[in-house]
Structure 1
């Protein structure tokens, strides 16, 4: 019966895995609660890394306390006595390192940087710390490798045992390609790969293709590209590697100019994100072929700075299953016909729940009202307006108050400046409806106190359930309510 209680506790604590505050309090109840909560709290070390340097120092010191006597002797012989002084050394109550399932190697690099280790000794310290995580007693779920990392992980004894069940892999393309080739011999069950391309010369590294091709059940692939993708051969080879997994890939993010037929292979996609680099004039091979795409299972579509016709064609080929759409247009680069776009959404997406739009003066208010009337399951709406002085916030707020479906009560508005009377009219017209969850972003660093007071007033009246203010473009976080 006591064993059942422990198992039940574990299931409950698993539900709290993202609620660190509650899990911390569980540590203080009794030993059983503590023993059950600690492995969950220490599963992912990245959650402990914050901007507060003093807290990071504590985490790094805990890591160093786990070093074996052999490792401590090696460091001592190399003159790193300051890391292993007897006055600070004592074994922790738990072997916290054994609970880590997510090995985020930028933490290791931060330790070396924070401790100001000389370059000649850095590799020695790195290798000794890696032994804490890559050994026969650990089974890692996630591995994240930072830029310029060159330690040969696959050559560490028992790396195959530790990494053979890896499911999530993140890396910058600018790492030693021998690491990727070595991991390809060990890791064949990776389900999610995230790749960062962050420098012009980084695409000389082709080891990633080996790693992609040997996977048995690749489900998610995300590429984040912060530079102009001029290396066409790299992306062509990347496409060829990914196409081999077209039957299993359900989540895909691309940040390059794809081949005309590339997307047509991925008929099982549930999530698709396409990001074109802003202010770069790509030709758009998808535009003329997107009408021939078939995306029957697609539920989430996110597009950034791609031509309107491509977005429209993608939506039209989703057979009504889309539940979330996020569209960010570059209003300064080309004219956006919002009438066509919004018609396409409400005619093809009756089940949509979350919608994010970047708007300007070209918005057709009557068509936007048709969207609200036809999309009766709409639950969350993000509106980003680039040119407030040309945009009719008053008309938008009026139609929101008049025609929003009952299900809609989550709003995010990004504006350079709100007229107080417009948003007050919106609040006052929202009476007797579901209380609003509201996020307002303003480009000004200091939030208008009058707006804060107005929002607080309507929260007291029950019109607003919860609200927050911010500044800048952090609306990119989309719908954290999900």
Structure 2
């Protein structure tokens, strides 16, 4: 999307433009182009763009990083610039004039690790005759930027703090931090950050709803911070190098028990705790488990538990013993709207059709002999809107799969994601057959536009490898039958 007609945008009320630009929040390249349309568009888009300026899709990350940090440097108060200059740190800014906006005040997300990376880029690109080491200079500049954030941001929503060497950045002790951090709702951090950080933030923040913890050594104060929260709803535990048996870990786990009734999302990645711990969270809506090697022997503790509000269930790598998981689905499958399994079992696929009638999103693995099972799922799961499948190397044949999809998928179905696994055999879909598929899709009752994503391996032998197939896809994009088309490289760590 690109807005070119200035006359048209002047006729649109500001609230309409705001709604349009809100839809572009994740598409930062397009949102940035909206800054150049006219002053009204710029005033609206800049606030959305800088709300979370740290994450963007761009092939030249270093160039964008330099632009962000140099803009923030231009926004620094004179006292900060003088302090940095005394230490030999001077950063080139886009213009000598004062910035058009107070960009820092628009931020609602701070990522200290991204700031660190961007600062590193700027010292690499603009080396200065500074007085200290690279790490010290990074600390000084990062500290002044964080001071500015604490002064200018009236209500920070999300804070990410994963750094190791910069653990002594003490922005939380600044007087202005109380106002800035008081309404924090999301915290992502390492468990080994210096203890004073956790003590300080626990005196300010009481309404954090989502916490992601990368578990290493457990600093004092982390468990206390968790206990201070009033309404924690989401917790993610990621084990990096953590001793599950030490007292700090036990204290952390114990602190979560306070939220047995409020917690709605639990995600555990390679953190081996007894699964019986999960049974206390009766109001879970999302449960995501990622164990690459763990055999799930104690899933027996969960198989008979009724999680009456459970909507999303994901097993990113290994799955429990199938008989246990089927028993779990027999009790909880009816409420599920999203189910993800990263392993194949034909009995499990039949159980999905039997026990999960309200699914909207499904990712499971079928082999080529399971087209009948796939058809059964389509017939019984009438709310299904999205499916992810594997094709090639003994999994589904993509041509046969598309035939079943167009004939039997429910009327509200619109999103298809295909993972091509084959390293030997190219896609069997010919341009004529692909054209027939889109013509048949166009004649469906619902006529919902199709969203199509292809996850390719490095060999590039999926259906888009045929140039004629790509011409057909582009044709139906222009006609509006395909709402969105993407080609991605397969990521084994993907969980969404």
Work out whether 1:178 is the aligned partner of 2:196. yes
**Counterpart pick for 1:142 among 144, 154, 158:** 158
1:101–1:320 Cα change, 3 Å:
same
The aligned runs of 1:101-250 (5 Å cut-off) are 101-114=108-121, 115-116=123-124, 118-135=134-151, 138-148=154-164, 149-150=166-167, 151-197=169-215, 202-226=216-240, 230-233=243-246, 235-250=249-264
Q: Tell me, what secondary structure is at the counterpart of 2:382? A: coil
Q: Match of 1:440, SS? A: strand
Structure 2: segments with no counterpart, 5+ residues: 1-11, 125-132
Do 2:434 and 2:469's aligned partners in 1 also have CA atoms closer than 8 Å? Answer: no
Paired position in structure 2 for 1:63: 72
Correspondence list, 1:3-22, <5 A: 10=18, 13-20=21-28
User: Structure 1 pair 118/411, CA: closer, same or farther in 2 (3 Å)?
Assistant: closer
- Normalised by the length of structure 2, the TM-score is 0.80
Q: Tell me which residue corresponds to 1:410.
A: 415
Match of 1:325 in 2: 339
Pair 1:360–1:20, CA change in 2 (3 A): same
Match of residue 440, structure 1, among 446, 449, 454: 454
Q: CA deviation at 1:426?
A: 7.4
Matches within 5 A, 1:222-371: 222-226=236-240, 230-233=243-246, 235-255=249-269, 256-276=271-291, 278=292, 280-282=293-295, 284-285=297-298, 287-304=299-316, 305-307=318-320, 308-318=322-332, 320-329=334-343, 337-339=345-347, 341-360=348-367, 364-371=370-377
Residue of structure 2 equivalent to 1:45: 53
Q: Deviation of residue 75 (structure 1)?
A: 1.8
Cα deviation, residue 344, structure 1: 2.1
CA distance in 2, matches of 1:147, 1:379: 40
CA distance in 1, matches of 2:453, 2:329: 27
Tell me which residue corresponds to 2:466. 451
Does the C-alpha gap of structure 1 residues 437 and 137 become closer, same or farther in structure 2, counting only changes over 3 Å?
closer
The secondary structure found in structure 2 opposite 1:232 is coil
Alpha carbons 2:116, 2:138 under 8 Å: kept: no
Deviations 1:260-298 (A, max 9, x none): 43222222122111111x2x244532x212233121111
- Determine the structure 2 residue equivalent to 1:332: none
How far residue 102 of structure 1 moved from its aligned partner, in angstroms, is: 1.0
Q: SS at 1:34's partner residue? A: helix
Alpha-carbon shift at residue 178 of structure 1 (Å): 2.1
1:282–1:477: structure 2 CA closer, same or farther, 3 Å change rule? closer
Residues 421-471 of structure 1, C-alpha deviations (whole Å, 9 max, x = no match): 467767646723346433233323434666342354476578973544344
SS at match of 1:108: helix
How many Å separate the matches in 1 of 2:111 and 2:135? 21
**SS in structure 1 opposite 2:364?**
strand
Q: Please give the TM-score of this superposition, normalised by the length of structure 1.
A: 0.83
CA distance in 1, matches of 2:450, 2:182: 47
Quote the Cα distance in structure 1 between the aligned partners of 2:404 and 2:37: 52
Q: 1:460 to 1:260 in 2, by over 3 A?
A: closer
CA contact (8 A) 1:296 1:319 kept: no
2:303–2:325 Cα contact (<8 Å) kept: no
The alpha-carbon distance between structure 1 residues 421 and 33, as it changes in their structure 2 partners (threshold 3 A), is closer
Does structure 2 conserve the Cα–Cα contact (< 8 Å) formed by 1:299 and 1:323? yes
| Preserved CA contact (<8 Å) 2:106 2:153 | no
The residue that corresponds to 2:5 in the other structure is: none
| Range with bigger deviation, 260-269 or 4-13 | 4-13
Name whichever of 461-470 and 260-269 sits farther off.
461-470
Work out whether 1:83 is the aligned partner of 2:105: no
Aligned residues: 457
CA offset digits 1:149-200 (Å, max 9, x no partner): 3112321222112111111111122322321222111111111112223xxx
How far did 1:477 drift? 5.7
Separation in 1, partners of 2:352, 2:161: 39
CA contact (8 A) 2:62 2:118 kept: no
Contact 1:445–1:471, Cα closer than 8 Å, also in 2:
no
- The answer to whether the 8 A contact 2:195-2:220 is kept is yes
SS class of match (2:66) = helix
**1:74 paired residue among 83, 105, 112:** 83
Taking structure 1 as reference, are residues 17 and 8 closer, same or farther at Cα in structure 2, changes over 3 Å only?
same
Q: CA deviation at 1:59?
A: 1.3
